[in-house]
Structure 1
């Protein structure tokens, strides 16, 4: 058995490792129960947690706690094996196995590293490029490292790392096309299978928000010299593969309203309206509408929403004495929000008339005496990027 100092040098290449020599020297022999110990670099840059196992299937595990990349919980789990089903790999110039493993860990796209014990010939395998790794014994001299989730800093115990006990493990990685999650499954044929799922994301130009049912993407469109009816706004959203967005939260409301201010510019001389999802139900504006309780007051149940992922409606905050229906003549059956630049108009009554407050507006009117309908907000769910598996 190596002494602790010999092992520390062979793993880290540094003689001044923070170690417990007595604990190592008293570790179980190779035909006893596995033990774990931790090697700490003196400058705290990384740590190894090493797992020693039996002669029946000698292996070791290394959890690298390096600067994090796509996931804060990914670690490198090292054992003996070789990739046998893959579409591409690339060489990495490494003089040690630890350099090879570290290169994979710090790469956003790498999920598996592999080399013979001697001489080192580091091969890295990226996400969606490697699908099966054969399990081998230590006598093969072929090392393999999986990037997998291990949220703790302790050494897992069990057979068949990185799955441990034939269960499933997961990991995260990304490439230029998409972010991915992947599963690592152990099969009875002494192989590990890797399967990948691309994570849906908001396209460029869209901002993501979290909702109870799904994440949502919002894009705000408008300007100081354009106007839109509600139907024009809806058509523009549909051309973008979306619809008019509702307002699930105050954060969504504030994002749309503040983006509206930015689109209009700091010199825009008045308030403006931007369309969001919401059209009054027919029974709430035809004869007898007063007989429906949900058609009265400020209830949002009097509106239909093209945004099918609304659950809380908390971002709809009505202006004072709104909605006012047909108080001014024609029925105001669509929902707009107000764009009010408090920096330009600091004396306004923002307690009652906040930037982003909702109002019911006539659906096909864009120009009023004191303001215009200058924009709209589209919404859709995140998408799997084109080209991702």
Structure 2
């Protein structure tokens, strides 16, 4: 399997921004094309916060199924409603102030269009290269701190998988096995976060939300010392593993 470093660009978890979430009366006109990321465990306030913290999310909506999150390149048309219908959506907007924008057609992203030329190579990327790429965007490789994180990452990967030549690959996440644990990774300490070095300042310091293919002591090749997510997933969501540098 080949490593696809470009995927890490979508998983930046710490980015300084001037964004706010603005709640208005309305609902998406479609729910299956594009398909949102659905989490049935979040309430409305948690749903809004999840979109705010999820860099690519620009719209959240709550219905009887749960929290629906839409990313910028898969955004449905929104039907304007009023308070009597009781349905709300939350838009992510550029707003550095504590007050909401004024007007019936207040700006969201200031009518700016963004274009991008994206290419992919057949070779994999090393952990240090992936980490430095994230840093250049003001972020870090992600850690799995919340039960919803792995679902969101699996959903993003499903959206983007068609752009890659290989149907099997690893997604880089934060975590490199410490040198002292590389020769004997299955000791009790080495199978905990204490056996790895992390750069994500938001890491909770535990593996509670890491669903491993085997365990944190996995090592097949000599250079299998970096945490990854494995695609395709054999279950509902991708699983964590330890693979080459």
- TM (normalized to structure 1)? 0.31
Which TM-score applies when normalising by structure 2? 0.47
The higher-RCO structure (CA 8 Å, 6+ apart) is: 2
- Point out the structure with max Rg over C-alpha: 1
